[in-house]
Amino acid sequence: MELFTRVDTSAADFRIDYTSRIAFFGSCFADNISAQFSARKFNVLANPFGTVYNPVSIAGQIRAIADGKVFGEGDVFQDARTEQDARGPWHSWDAHSSLSAATREECISKLNAAADSARTFLQQADTAFITLGTSFVYFLKDGRVVANCHRQNPALFERRMITVEEAARALREIERDLQKIRTDIRIVFTVSPLRHMADGAHNNTLSKATLQLAVNEIVKRGFGTAVIPATYFPSYEIVMDELRDYRFYDSDMVHLSKTAEEYIFERMVDTYCNEKTRGNIARVEKFMKMAGHRIVDMGSPAAENFLQKIHSEASVLESQIPGLDLKLP
């Protein structure tokens, strides 16, 4: 008896293993899934400019990386929420507040460091997952796209849902710029299953549908001139059809539970990893569980023996699994 509709995720025509370098850009769902890979010691880059939800802003961030942009004074601004406080932090409209800083110079430095490290990583990356959260975009009154409003005065912005054509154009730019950095990088688009209920249920549905139609333009119709065509992973469909029960959600009934995140990770592993890599993941998971065991008395002989065992087993795993770096002290 089948008790739910299973979403088909047939094996991809390329493989991810421990020698792979995997980049994630997009919404908090990208942060969550990249953390699943990172916890199993894959080589991961996750949102170098911080979490970003809409395709136009993702495209802008990747364009800056691909073009070798050097951020300067025109790319940052000082917080204007308290007019009498000249010590407000500095932000960038193009980045998350995690790259904000107390001074203009520090903020610019953080932006350039993020761009440089991301460019270096992507030059050797095998796969980039692009997670699209919403088709609602904030614009400054001069038309500039905003990745993060930094809680500034709402009067500064116009917010609207972009069209399918605008979203598809952004995805084509993402595809073009990533393959400008590395020609043979594999690009996988996915739509975040996390609902943006602040927009209302209907607008959330329209927003997600816009993203789905835009991805379809790229993936199904060969939109653009990509060296290797982009593909799609059905994260959204897996949650909507397989994990539709609220027990798979966090307490806010919007974000996913850890169980749901791990389930989607397992489906990605089934899609992008062969049997040998899946076995290696299980070995790493077992090791990390053992290594995470709490030691009460670090000075005891038992603790010393346990640490020696951990380092010994780590050396064995690293010698047997190409590309694995457990990064033990």
* pLDDT, position 243: 82
Averaged over 225-243, what is the pLDDT?
Answer: 88
Question: Do 135 and 162 touch, CB atoms closer than 8 A?
Answer: yes
For residue 303, the model assigns a pLDDT of 73
Give the bridge partners for 44, in sequence order.
Answer: 22
The 10 Å CB-count burial string (b at 16+, else e) for 140-179 is eeeeebbbbbbebeeeeeeeebbebebbbbbbbbbbbbbb
Q: What is the pLDDT of residues 61-75, one digit of tens each?
A: 999 999 999 999 999
The whole-chain average pLDDT of the chain stands at: 91
Residues 33-46 have pLDDT tens digits of 999 999 999 999 99
Which pLDDT score, from 0 to 100, does residue 291 have? 86
More confident: 231 or 248: 231
pLDDT at 85: 60
Question: Each residue of 142-184: pLDDT tens digit?
Answer: 999 999 999 999 999 999 999 999 999 999 999 999 999 999 9
Per-residue pLDDT for 81 more than 70? Answer: no
User: What band does 200 get if pLDDT is binned at 50, 70 and 90?
Assistant: very high
Percentage of the chain with pLDDT > 90? 76
Side chain identity at 128, as an amino acid letter? A
pLDDT of residue 37: 97
Rounded to whole angstroms, the Cα distance separating 213 from 166 reads 11
Q: Which two tokens stand for residue 237?
A: 């469909």
What is the average pLDDT across 182-188? 96
- Does the structure show a pLDDT above 60 at 83? no
